[in-house]
Amino acid sequence: MGFARACSVALVGVEGVVVEVQADLEPGVAAFTLVGLPDKSLVESRDRVRAAVVNSGAEWPQKKLTVGLSPASVPKSGSGFDLAVACAVLGAAERIDPAMIADVVMIGELGLDGRVRPVRGVLPAVLAAAEAGYEQVVVPEQTAGEAALVPGISVLGVRSLRQLIAVLCDEPVPEEPADGQGRPDAMLAGLMIPGTGLGTGLAPAAARGDGHRPDLADVAGQLRPRQALEVAAAGGHHLLLSGPPGAGKTMLAERLSAVLPPLTRQESLEVTAVHSVAGILPPGEPLVSRAPYCAPHHSATMQSLVGGGNGIPRPGAVSLAHRGVLFLDEAPEFSGKALDALRQPLESGHVVVARAAGVVRLPARFLMVLAANPCPCGRHTLTGAGCECPPSVVRRYQARLSGPLLDRVDLRVEVEPVDRADLLAQGGRGESTEVVAARVRDARARATERLAGTPWTTNSEVPGHELRTRLLVAPGALAAAERDLERGILTARGLDRVLRVAWTVADLRAADRPDASDVAVALELRTGIQRGVPMGAGER
């Protein structure tokens, strides 16, 4: 009787569970049994592995073969177990030394000719292996750069099963010819899910492939919305842009991700793990270093926003926008069920999706930007524009954004139509993205220094209790906010969010703590009521 084991990783959402792949050979009628709660794509690995082993020059054992995936209670899906199954079978057949593969994590799909094809989710899988104490992983050659992002792990990238057998047996490693030149690499097809790649609004703004980076200087006029955009980027505050069509709401939102600071190493790993599992990680770019930008269409379902799908839930738009921008254009056109599903991730920074196949916790700490017209025709706020929407239709349209959802939005700005002088550049161009991004980086650095030693890094994450007890504003600065609270203009959550915005405004002007004018600016951005203070975020 021959026995051998290797290791692989089962992904549940963006978290991994190390799975021990055990192979047992017994005398009897030749058969191949796979147990351990596999899905359809994993059951089919029996035929892929058999053909790959034979075409790699190894002999397939003509005995009763049982392959078990342990722990058997964890659902397992995908083709990433092929490499571990093949090596466990060869170890049981004594083609390779079982001791050489017992503590090696193997991830990869096998082609019928023995080539090792890349799979999605390599980064979170290797992270799970490192947390479990494993030090060696074998991955497809195309994803070796992604796996190497994990510190303390020895990564071996292989192109074929034949090469891996030679490495494990200390034999000369054969050269594998590359595919024909001048055509796309078919081996990379498994890394991208059709329909979620470039051009669908579910990819980082820097990866759209047209070579153009939107600049804030392209926006004509719109001084107040530009300043609100700067405050949103500096503190991570959610933003609502309302106004008639053609005023520039979408232009402003598309330029927000470029204003955000580059991701830290830990944030980059978090974002890359989500994008790798979702299948939108661009080939050749193993690490996402800039804030992602996600703009789903208003016909998106609740499952596509928060996550879901058949079997194990997959990341939705809120997770794809983790550490970046989630832009909901024409927000009132989204279904009320989908919009209200955003309440929990807006507060907690993660989303928990429960399905019959299991419960998955997905990261979802994003900056939300809503864009809305004042009425179905969009001309309700324009003087003499001829809006024919009845008042009841206008009220019903505006009520699609529920009060509890809007209460979680820190900044609400009216985007006015652009006048002729601004549109024809007679008023001069505004500040560029580079200038605004520099101020945002400085403001975030001040907030990070102030919040050192706490689990928070931006003002939008600080709980209200801390703002009212430890991070105190100047004496008397909250008088206006307290009056609004008593009049019912602000809720308790609204007061906390005003305090957070006030701290961000103070950081932008390099003040030690907010004063009455900073709170007034925050109140004006929150309620839209004029307070008689200048709106300049970076200066007075």
3-state secondary structure at position 509: coil
Helix (H) or strand (E) holding 369: strand 367-372
Helix (H) or strand (E) holding 353: strand 350-355
Q: Over its length of 540 residues, how does the chain's per-residue pLDDT go in tens digits?
A: 589 999 999 998 888 999 999 999 999 999 999 999 898 889 999 999 999 999 999 999 999 999 999 999 888 888 999 999 999 999 999 999 999 999 999 999 999 999 999 998 999 999 999 999 999 999 999 899 999 999 999 999 999 999 999 999 999 999 887 655 555 566 665 566 555 444 344 444 444 455 567 888 888 878 889 999 999 999 999 999 998 888 889 999 999 999 999 999 999 999 999 999 988 887 677 899 899 999 999 999 998 899 887 767 789 999 999 999 999 999 999 999 999 999 999 989 999 988 776 788 999 999 999 999 988 888 887 766 678 889 899 999 989 999 889 989 999 999 888 877 777 765 556 788 999 999 999 999 999 999 998 989 999 999 988 888 888 888 888 888 888 889 888 888 888 999 999 999 999 999 999 999 999 999 999 887 776 666 554 444
Sign of the Cα pseudo-torsion (168, 173, 177, 178, in order): positive
**Side chain identity at residue 172, one-letter code:** P
CB 340 within 8 A of CB 405: yes
* Helical H segments across 249-340, by residue range: 249-254, 256-259, 265-278, 302-306, 317-320, 336-340
What's the predicted TM-score (pTM) here? Answer: 0.88
Q: How far apart are CA 145 and CA 204, in angstroms?
A: 19
